[in-house]
């Protein structure tokens, strides 16, 4: 007795093979050149959210999975939590614009590149003095961004981070996605406020 197969469903990948190859090669090169332990790259189409490339280095050969070192079996792009660093300045900027507490040409005294928040001194990568908010973002000034966040307040900053999806899963169809961490404002310290902004 022969049973005819049932029609299946299509699987359409969004990965761009050419871009994936470039990402893998460049990531390996950068990790080796910088002496880093590891690296991760995710290339996303900003219009659709489609993943165009995703790579981790070091990685493993899936055909020889039993020979792989345990830490490299995880897809660190979706399973590990990491600090967003200076990319989070865009969240602070978005919150400040939405609350109308700043415009691009408003000027901020960046105090020569350092500010004390709580018991911690936070520095810029080079000294800045009075610059526009546009320049604060262009130059990734920690001091200028903190001053904007102080005008904004903690709760609006937290709310914008929540709107951006920090502390939530994206729903990507890959196993063991991490939610990330976005602590409630009540658990922020004076030190964490400067770091978060």
Q: What is the rounded CA–CA span in Å between residue 164 and residue 149?
A: 16
Catalytic (active site) residue 168: no
Residue 98 is encoded by which pair of tokens? 């939405």
Residue 69: partners with Cβ closer than 8 Å, 6 or more residues away? 58, 60
User: Does the N-terminal peptide bond of residue 58 adopt cis geometry, omega within 30 degrees of 0?
Assistant: yes
Neighbours of 72 (CB within 10 A): 14
| Active-site position among 36, 38, 86, 114 | 86
Angle 21-23-26 from CA coordinates, rounded to 5° = 105
User: What is the set of active-site residues?
Assistant: 86
């Amino acid at each position: 007795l022969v049973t005819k197969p049932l029609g299946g469903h299509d699987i359409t990948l969004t990965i761009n093979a050419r871009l994936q190859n470039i990402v893998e090669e460049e990531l390996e090169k950068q990790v080796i050149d910088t002496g880093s332990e590891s690296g991760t790259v995710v290339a996303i189409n900003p219009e659709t959210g489609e993943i165009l490339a995703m790579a981790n280095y070091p990685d493993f050969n899936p055909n020889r999975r039993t020979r792989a070192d345990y830490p490299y079996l995880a897809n660190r792009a979706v399973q590990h939590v990491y600090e967003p660093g200076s990319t989070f300045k865009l969240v602070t900027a978005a919150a400040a614009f939405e609350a109308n507490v700043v415009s691009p040409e408003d000027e901020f005294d960046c105090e020569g590149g350092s500010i004390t928040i709580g018991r911690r001194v936070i520095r810029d990568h080079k000294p800045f003095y009075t610059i526009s908010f546009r320049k604060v973002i262009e130059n990734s000034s920690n001091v200028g961004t903190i001053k904007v966040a102080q005008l904004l307040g903690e709760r609006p900053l937290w709310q914008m981070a929540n709107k951006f999806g920090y502390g939530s899963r994206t729903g990507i169809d890959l196993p063991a996605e991490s939610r990330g961490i976005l602590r409630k404002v009540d658990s922020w310290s004076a030190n964490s406020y400067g770091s978060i902004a």
